[in-house]
Amino acid sequence: MSKTVLITGASSGIGEATAKYFLQKGWNVAATMRSPSKADNWLQKKNAIYPYLDVTKPETISSAIHETLQHFGHIDVLINNAGYALMGPLEGVTPDQLEHQFKTNFFGLVSTIQTILPILRQQGGGTIINVASIGGRLAFPLTSSYHATKWAVEGLSESLRYELRQFGIRVKIIEPGGIKTNFINHGTTWATHPDYTQMVNNLKQFTQKIDDSLPEPQGVAKTIYRAASDRSARLRYSPYGEAFFLLHAILPDRLWRSLVERIMLGKLDSRLKVNRAFK
């Protein structure tokens, strides 16, 4: 009997690449998305469905899970992938922006897990894969809101792993490095504040510069597939992220931070230099 995976945010990027890879491997795929009109030809297959699921709307989580069960009879793996980044200085972040960031990246993931848990327990097991980021254990400039959500996903996942082992449910965390998707230059929402303009422009220049050199999402899809098929107790998988964790572990903290500043923020403006002189 073919296994079934349910993926959130499968309309583009890592979610889409992952859905395609699981289909290629002969799985039943529920490639959920908040705009099923974006479903492409690749989804017109007998073993694929694309239910409407917006992680900020709990009723759509229940209905997508229900539709998947009706169609395939069981769900073996849940991949919580939907997400976006709220970037910009914390001083400029509005309560609505922060709330929406948490509703999507964190509370949406929590609701999806809570909805599917009784089903996985009744089935006698399963796997929950949460897509965090290298930014779930490291932090970079002007990304505080996004990091807060991904650090929360890391903590939740690591703790959850202990409580679900007794039910045969595995929890896995995927921590991709920078990947070429809509995420970095199109999927991002920016908070603004006039006193951070120079810094924001420097970071935008950096992200535009690196965009073309980033790896495609297929490599992450393969890692997610490996995690889904891995019966070991391994918790974390870091496609294109290992080098960052290694550097962070071996460099002294101050050197790491200074490298991050130089590389991501480029030439510091004179006011920032003055502020640094007082540190």
Q: Is 80 left (phi over 0), alpha (psi -120 to 50) or beta?
A: beta
Which listed range, 32-40, 160-168, 243-251, 253-261, lies at the site for ligand NAP (CB under 6 A)? 32-40
Cβ pair 159, 115 in contact under 8 A = no
Largest CA distance in the chain: 65
| Residue of 146, 196, 225, 237 marked catalytic | 146
All residues at 6 or more sequence positions from 124 whose CB lies less than 8 Å from its CB, including other chains: 167, 168
Among 28, 111, 127, 133, binds ligand NAP (CB under 6 A): 133
Distance CA 120, CA 58 (A): 18
Cβ pair 156, 171 in contact under 8 A = no
Smallest distance, ligand NAP to C-beta of residue 160, A: 17
Query: Is 35 a binder of ligand NAP (CB under 6 A)?
Result: yes
Among 131, 138, 164, 228, binds ligand NAP (CB under 6 A): 131
Measuring CA to CA, how many Å separate 247 from each of 76, 185, 237?
36, 25, 17
Instruction: Provide the mask over 235-274, with x wherever binding to ligand NAP is found by CB under 6 A and - wherever it is not.
Output: ----------------------------------------
Give the number of C-alpha atoms closer than 13 A to the C-alpha of residue 99, restricted to the C-beta side: 3
Residue number with the shortest CB distance to ligand NAP? 13
Cβ pair 126, 75 in contact under 8 A = yes
Smallest distance, ligand NAP to C-beta of residue 188, A: 9
| 164-223 binders of ligand NAP (CB under 6 A) | 176, 178-179, 181-184, 187, 217
Closer residue to ligand NAP in complex, CB, 181/202? 181
Q: Is the dihedral of CA 208, 8, 133, 180 positive or negative?
A: negative
Smallest distance, ligand NAP to C-beta of residue 166, A: 28
Cβ pair 25, 49 in contact under 8 A = no
Query: Is 14 a binder of ligand NAP (CB under 6 A)?
Result: yes
Among 55, 75, 169, 227, binds ligand NAP (CB under 6 A): 55
Query: Is 56 a binder of ligand NAP (CB under 6 A)?
Result: yes
Clarify whether 237 is annotated catalytic: no
Catalytic residue numbers, as ranges = 146
Binding site for ligand NAP (CB under 6 A): 8-9, 11-15, 33-35, 38, 53-56, 81-84, 104, 131, 133, 176, 178-179, 181-184, 187, 217
